[in-house]
């Protein structure tokens, strides 16, 4: 067995083929779990190099190979025992990049990468020896089509649903988008450099006589892998000079903070789940290095920082410990501590609610114990500016893909100013941003988003709760000098409730057309129909009529001290109807604009494009399959398949007017079709039906993609 660290240059550039045995599973990597993170890591490293940083190669993991006998003068062949997903993805990625280079006339870069995905024809015995990686049999037609194509439209429709094809389309679109941003062959060559020798894999090569299964099982044994923080701790304490008593003292003073539940618990970071301490070090490094530090490279970046800083380990540990202690205190305060409405705890809480933790390096920059404190008025302005910018962008569904780079730019620019002006400077920076990635949405932009789109469907329940909590605190006079209630609302405790229920048909009937029903389905999901309750109502009360014994208004009024809810009950003391929903929506929008003010009149060109395309009676509500049919996402006559193993034999057909047919029964909604197919078992039809028996693309997934594409 031979183990070594290899780059793509070392693995792919020598007339070689890595063949995936037929018994291996097919290619299963996908966009949300693997492709997007790999691409972000590669681009982060490339851009750091472009900006002059010396960064180590990005580690991709391990592959296990077994050599096979080869005749002299032919392709050297290896069986892939483990790591086929990485190898196939790398080949498709490199091919997508070289296609993008070719389409832009970057001939030198195209030729440079071609040797990584094509073997020399003079060494080829059989035609498929041409490919450097040869996947398992199920993926071979798709892989061959992809590697022989240079545009995504050239893929035959019969294999277009393959994940290999999906990977190619994703990477080709991603590199095209990135090349538009960099707009330079010289910068594009840095991407080629990353693919050439900026990535690393551990390759374990077995001889023909060795047992591959034993190696495979050992590598994939169930154990607790070392985290980035484990590695950092080991690295720091190995560099400390002194006896055991000194090491114990330093550990107690500076490191035990990271051993409690707060730091060892897992938190979300975009689509990833990370230990909070690892995420903290990633953000801390961004604030210190002024460049993106991806999660997988935290340890290497930290080592690089220590080596270049020329500071003692104890000095570094002290700065980390103080910052971590302050951040922990503020994070715990952000829920219900005595200072929960102070600027920093509020900002931390709301960042978490809208899943914008990429902005945390700014908070750590503020907390840096080695820098002068920021004056109270400037700190308040800094927090309110970044919070308004983020919350407004979240409300209008503006892109978040540039946030990791923008926060580096923000911290770097702030570093050049006096900290006594930090708030004024960040306000000025954000006000001046006009690009799609960074603009500060206007009042009109926010009003349009909350008036004309189904807020409950488009925003997460966590962010909706946070927005309603902020309005509730405004009603209570917090933060401010004129408190109208004995205390602010305890955060993260209430649930979001519809005043007029989503399932209104039984107890809230209307006489009208299908368009009238569609209009109501849209209105019930506006913010004006939402409120906070201290505990969830049971389903019978939640869907009850508004008035009468055991009515919904009685149920809400009898169990709440929430001013926002009591205000709605007073407004609807006689009835709760669609006109009141619209009236209350306007009032709550005004409150939101007041809580998160903006100094700009900026509007997104993409947003305006959507706005002009939506006409009366065609608002976006998920209850209608017809929206997906009209958009060309579903086709009349298309078969949908059950995603449940219990009902794997069940299908339905999309018919005219966006209805679904199951066993000859016409159903007006996915859930109705689900009930017919399962014998009236209750289930969410949007997640029950998928587009193929071989994939996991549900109707819900199609809807989310449609909304993302529009917004």
Helix H, strand E, coil C: the string for 138-161 is: HHHHHHHHHHCCCCHHHCCHHHCC
Length of the chain: 711
Rounded Cα gap, residues 79 and 70, in angstroms:
12
Rounded Cα gap, residues 693 and 643, in angstroms:
7
Rounded Cα gap, residues 435 and 605, in angstroms:
10
pLDDT score recorded for residue 391: 97
pLDDT score recorded for residue 69: 66
Q: Which of 539, 573, 595 is the last residue of a domain?
A: 595
Q: Which domain holds residue 281?
A: 228-434
CB-based contact 303:235 (threshold 8 Å)? yes
Asked if residue 33 and residue 118 are part of one domain, the reply reads yes
pLDDT score recorded for residue 120: 83
CB-based contact 80:18 (threshold 8 Å)? yes
Q: Which of 399, 434, 469 is the last residue of a domain?
A: 434
Rounded Cα gap, residues 710 and 89, in angstroms:
29
Q: Residue 574, exposed/middle/buried by CB under 10 A (0-12, 13-18, 19+)?
A: exposed
Asked if residue 296 and residue 188 are part of one domain, the reply reads no
One-character DSSP codes across 47-104:
HHHHTT---PPEEEEEEEEEE----TTS-EEEEEEE-HHHHHHHHHHHHHHHHHHHHT
Residues of the chain with pLDDT under 70: 22-24, 69-70, 72-73, 150-158, 208-226, 270-272, 337-338, 480-486, 536-540, 559, 604-624, 680-682, 707-711
Rg for the chain, CA atoms, rounded: 28
Rounded Cα gap, residues 514 and 497, in angstroms:
25
Asked if residue 457 and residue 418 are part of one domain, the reply reads no
CB-based contact 629:659 (threshold 8 Å)? no
Lookup: tokens for 478? 């917090």
pLDDT score recorded for residue 610: 44
Label the pairing between strands 660-662 and 665-667.
antiparallel
pLDDT score recorded for residue 315: 93
The number of folded domains in the chain is: 4
Asked if residue 159 and residue 63 are part of one domain, the reply reads yes
Rounded Cα gap, residues 2 and 67, in angstroms:
11
For residue 613, tell me if it sits in a domain: no
Asked if residue 384 and residue 240 are part of one domain, the reply reads yes
pLDDT in tens, 441-478: 999 999 999 998 889 988 889 999 999 999 999 988 88
pTM, two decimals, is: 0.67
Q: Which residues contact 505 (CB under 8 A, 6 or more apart)?
A: none
End-to-end CA distance of the chain: 52
Asked if residue 646 and residue 569 are part of one domain, the reply reads no
- Look up residue 34 and give its DSSP letter: I
Asked if residue 272 and residue 202 are part of one domain, the reply reads no
Q: Which of 167, 194, 219 is the last residue of a domain?
A: 219
For residue 604, tell me if it sits in a domain: no
One-character DSSP codes across 112-147:
HHHHHHB--GGG-SSGGGGBSEE--GGGHHHHHHHH
């Amino acid at each position: 067995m031979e183990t070594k660290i290899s780059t793509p240059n070392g693995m792919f550039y020598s007339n070689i083929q890595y063949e995936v045995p037929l018994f291996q599973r097919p290619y299963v990597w996908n966009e949300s779990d693997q492709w997007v993170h790999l691409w972000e890591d590669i681009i982060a490293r490339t851009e750091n190099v472009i900006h002059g940083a010396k960064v180590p190669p990005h580690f991709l993991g391990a592959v296990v190979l077994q050599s096979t006998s080869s005749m002299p003068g032919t392709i050297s062949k290896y069986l892939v025992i483990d790591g086929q997903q990485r190898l196939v993805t790398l080949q498709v990625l490199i091919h997508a990049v070289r296609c993008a280079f070719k389409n832009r006339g970057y001939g030198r870069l195209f030729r440079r990468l071609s040797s990584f995905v094509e073997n020399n024809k003079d060494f080829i015995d059989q035609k498929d020896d041409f490919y450097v990686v040869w996947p398992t049999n199920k993926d071979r037609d798709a892989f061959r089509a992809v590697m022989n194509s240079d545009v995504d439209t050239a893929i035959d429709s019969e294999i277009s649903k393959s994940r290999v094809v999906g990977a190619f389309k994703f990477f080709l679109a991603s590199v095209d988008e990135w090349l538009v941003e960099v707009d330079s062959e010289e910068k594009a060559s840095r991407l080629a450099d990353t693919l050439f020798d900026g990535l690393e894999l551990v390759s374990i090569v077995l001889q023909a006589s060795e047992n591959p299964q034993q190696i495979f099982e050992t590598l994939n044994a169930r154990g607790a892998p070392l985290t980035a923080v484990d590695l950092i701790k080991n690295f720091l304490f190995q560099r400390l000079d002194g006896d055991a008593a000194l090491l114990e003292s330093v550990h107690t003073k500076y490191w035990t903070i990271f051993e409690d539940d707060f730091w060892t618990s897992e938190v979300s970071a975009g689509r990833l789940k990370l230990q909070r301490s690892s995420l903290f070090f990633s953000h801390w490094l961004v604030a210190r290095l002024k460049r993106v530090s991806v999660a997988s490279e935290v340890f290497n970046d930290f080592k690089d920082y220590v080596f270049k800083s020329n500071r003692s380990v104890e000095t570094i540990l002290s700065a980390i410990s103080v910052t971590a202690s302050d951040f922990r205190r503020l994070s715990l305060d952000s829920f219900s501590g005595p200072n929960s409405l102070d600027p920093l705890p509020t900002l931390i809480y709301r960042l978490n609610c809208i899943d914008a933790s990429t902005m945390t390096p700014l908070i750590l920059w503020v907390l840096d114990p080695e820098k002068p404190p920021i004056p109270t008025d400037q700190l308040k302005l800094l927090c309110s500016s970044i919070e308004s910018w983020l919350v407004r962008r979240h409300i209008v569904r503006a892109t978040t893909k540039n946030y990791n780079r923008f926060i580096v730019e923000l911290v770097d620019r702030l570093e050049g100013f006096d900290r006594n002006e930090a708030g004024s400077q960040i306000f000025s920076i954000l006000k001046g941003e006009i690009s799609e990635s960074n603009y500060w949405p206007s009042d009109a932009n926010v009003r349009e988003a909350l008036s004309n789109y189904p807020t409950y469907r488009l925003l997460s329940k966590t962010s909706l709760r946070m927005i309603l909590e902020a309005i509730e605190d405004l009603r209570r006079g917090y933060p401010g000098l004129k408190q109208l209630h004995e205390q602010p609302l305890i955060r993260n405790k209430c649930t979001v409730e519809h005043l007029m229920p989503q399932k209104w048909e039984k107890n809230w009937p209307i006489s009208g057309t299908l368009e009238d029903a569609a209009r109501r389905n849209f209105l019930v999901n506006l913010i004006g129909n939402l409120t906070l309750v201290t505990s969830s109502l049971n389903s019978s009360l939640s869907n009850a009529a508004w008035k009468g014994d055991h009515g919904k208004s009685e149920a809400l009024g009898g169990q709440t001290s929430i001013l926002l809810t009591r205000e709605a009950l007073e407004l609807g003391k006689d009835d709760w109807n669609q006109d009141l929903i619209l009236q209350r929506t306007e009032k709550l929008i005004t409150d939101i604009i007041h809580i998160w003010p903006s100094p700009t009149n900026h509007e997104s060109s993409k947003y305006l494009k959507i706005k002009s395309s939506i006409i009366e009676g065609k608002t976006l509500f998920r209850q209608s399959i017809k929206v997906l049919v009209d958009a060309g996402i579903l086709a009349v006559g298309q078969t949908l398949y059950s995603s449940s193993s219990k009902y794997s034999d069940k299908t339905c057909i999309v018919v005219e007017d966006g209805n679904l047919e199951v066993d000859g029964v016409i159903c007006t909604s996915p859930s109705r079709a689900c009930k017919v197919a399962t014998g009236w078992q209750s289930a969410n039809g949007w997640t029950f039906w998928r587009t193929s028996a071989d994939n996991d693309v549900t109707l819900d997934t199609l809807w989310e993609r449609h909304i993302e594409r529009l917004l």
